[in-house]
Amino acid sequence: MVRSSPVAVRERQQLRQPYPNYRVVVLDDAINTFQHVVECLVRFIPGMQPDRAWDLAHRIDSDGSAVVWCGPQEQAELYHQQLGAEGLTMAPLERD
């Protein structure tokens, strides 16, 4: 039986890094209504509840932007594309 030293195991563990997450950010604009933003978030972001979507819509309005979802790149790209296709103003994907 071959045993690894504690240092070798620690070095291997440090080499493994999780895939990065990406943030989907919606920007404020003068085009979209609160209702439209909320409907889009509820329709396309998994698990998004209307109350949370309204909170995010208010944050987008007051702060100029809000992170509406964060996770793996492929999913982030999908949600970013879907929200943008519905007319929401999107920031470029941001690495978390």
Is residue 64 a part of any domain in this protein?
A: yes
* Residue 42: CATH number of its domain: 3.30.1390.10
Residue 55 covered by a domain: yes
d(CA 29, CA 50): 20
Residue 6 lies in a domain: no
pTM of model > 0.85: no
Q: Which pLDDT value is given to residue 69?
A: 98
Range of the domain at 74: 19-95
Whole-number Cα distances in Å, 65 to 8, 19, 31, 55, 92 = 45, 25, 14, 12, 12
In a domain, 67, yes or no: yes
User: How many domains is the chain partitioned into structurally?
Assistant: 1
Per-residue model confidence as pLDDT tens for the chain (96 residues): 556 666 665 666 666 778 899 999 999 999 999 999 999 999 999 999 999 999 999 999 999 999 999 999 999 999 999 999 999 999 999 999
pLDDT of residue 3: 65
